[in-house]
Amino acid sequence: MKIYFLGTGTSQGIPVIGSNHSVCLSTDDKDKRLRVSVWIEADDTSILIDCGPDFRQQMLTSKCAIIDALLFTHEHADHTAGLDDIRPYYFKQGDISVFAHQRVLFNLAKRFDYIFENENKYPGAPSVIAKEVVNNESFKVKNLEVIPINAMHGSLQVFGYRIRDFVYLTDVKTIEQAEIEKIKGCKVLVINCLREEYHSTHFNLEEALHFISLVQPNKTYFTHISHVFGFHEEIQAKLPDNVFVAYDNLTINI
Ligand SMILES: [Zn+2]
C-alpha cells in the first residue's frame, strides 16, 4: 500500500499569508506545507483522508485520478473547505462516498447544502453518498477494511483511521486507552505534532513523543506542523531515529 502526504501543515498552512517568519520565508520545499491530507492507495482502492482548502492543488500535484472514498476526521475548515472541488471526480465517477461522524455529516450538509441535497439540484453540482462512521464499527471501502479510532481535539471528538498496518491520526489532544489498543501493532503511525510549546487542542512535541512510547509503532511521521516548530531539518534533528517529520508530497510504501 502507498501513502502519499498531500499536506502536512497546520490550519493556516506554511508559509502563512503575509508572514516574515524565517520558516515562512524558507526556500526549502520541505518547509512549504499545505493543509493536512493524505492519499492511501491499496490494491485497487483509493482513499483520501480530509479535503481541506488546498484540495484542488493537491489533486493536481499528486495526479490522483480516482477517489473511492473520502474520509473525514472532523469538520474544521482546514480539513473540509475543499469539498466543492470534488466536482471533476463526480463528473467522472458519479456520486462520491463520504465517510464521517454523524455530527460532521450534518455540519457539511449545512455548509455545502447544494452537494448533499437530493432534489432540485443545481446542474453541475457534485453529489455524495453520506456514510456515517460509528466508533467501534469498522467499515469497508471496496475490499479494504477501515477501523475508526476515536480521539479528542480539546472538547471536539475526532476520528482517526486504521487501514491494515497504517494509522492516521490528526488534531488529537487526548485519547483513551481502549483506542490506543486499536493502534498497537501498526507499522506506520501518522500523528499531529504542532510545535514544542503547549497548545490546548493539539499535541506538542512532548505529548506526541509520549503517545509514540505508548503505541510503539515501527515508524512514526509527524503532521499538522506549525511554522513556529522550526525548519524541517531543524525539527528532524531533534527526533528519535524512528520518528520522522512528514513533508508535502512524501510517499511511503508499507
Ligand atoms: Zn486541523
Read off the pLDDT of residues 146-202 as tens digits, 9 standing for 90 and up: 999 999 999 999 999 999 999 999 999 999 999 999 999 999 999 999 999 999 999
User: Order of strands, edge to edge, in the sheet holding 69-71?
Assistant: 128-132, 96-100, 69-71, 45-49, 37-42, 2-7, 251-253
Distance 118 CA to ligand 1 centre (A): 29
Number of residues that make up the chain: 254
| CA distance readout (Å), 248 to 52, 77, 93, 128 | 14, 19, 27, 27
Distance 44 CA to ligand 1 centre (A): 29
Distance 153 CA to ligand 1 centre (A): 9
Name the burial class of residue 57, with classes exposed (0-12), middle (13-18) and buried (19+) by CB atoms within 10 angstroms of its CB: middle
Read off the pLDDT of residues 32-90 as tens digits, 9 standing for 90 and up: 999 999 999 999 999 999 999 999 999 999 999 999 999 999 999 999 999 999 999 99
Distance 119 CA to ligand 1 centre (A): 32
Distance 129 CA to ligand 1 centre (A): 24
Distance 10 CA to ligand 1 centre (A): 6
Residue 19's φ and ψ, nearest 5 degrees, are -85, 140
Distance 53 CA to ligand 1 centre (A): 11
Read off the pLDDT of residues 141-150 as tens digits, 9 standing for 90 and up: 999 999 999 9
pLDDT at position 125, please? 93
Read off the pLDDT of residues 197-235 as tens digits, 9 standing for 90 and up: 999 999 999 999 999 999 999 999 999 999 999 999 999
Distance 155 CA to ligand 1 centre (A): 14
> DSSP string covering 113-177, please?
HHHH--SSPPTT---EEEEE--TT--EEETTEEEEEEEEEETTEEEEEEEETTEEE--S-SB--H
Cα–Cα distance, 122 to 79 (Å, whole number): 25
Distance 123 CA to ligand 1 centre (A): 32
Distance 73 CA to ligand 1 centre (A): 9
pLDDT at position 123, please? 86
On whether the pTM is more than 0.85, the answer is yes
Cα–Cα distance, 174 to 202 (Å, whole number): 9
pLDDT at position 121, please? 87
Distance 94 CA to ligand 1 centre (A): 28
Distance 204 CA to ligand 1 centre (A): 14
Name 133's Cβ contacts closer than 8 Å, sequence gap at least 6.
71, 99, 100, 101, 139, 148, 159
Domains with residue ranges and CATH for the chain? 2-253 (3.60.15.10)
* Triad 161, 82, 89: Cα angle to 5°: 85
Distance 223 CA to ligand 1 centre (A): 10
Distance 201 CA to ligand 1 centre (A): 10
C-alpha grid cell, residue 104: 460532521
Structural contact between residues 190 and 137, judged by C-beta atoms closer than 8 angstroms: no
Distance 103 CA to ligand 1 centre (A): 17
Distance 120 CA to ligand 1 centre (A): 33
Name the burial class of residue 136, with classes exposed (0-12), middle (13-18) and buried (19+) by CB atoms within 10 angstroms of its CB: exposed
Asked whether residue 118 carries a pLDDT value surpassing 90, the answer given is no
CB hemisphere CA count around 190 (13 angstroms): 31
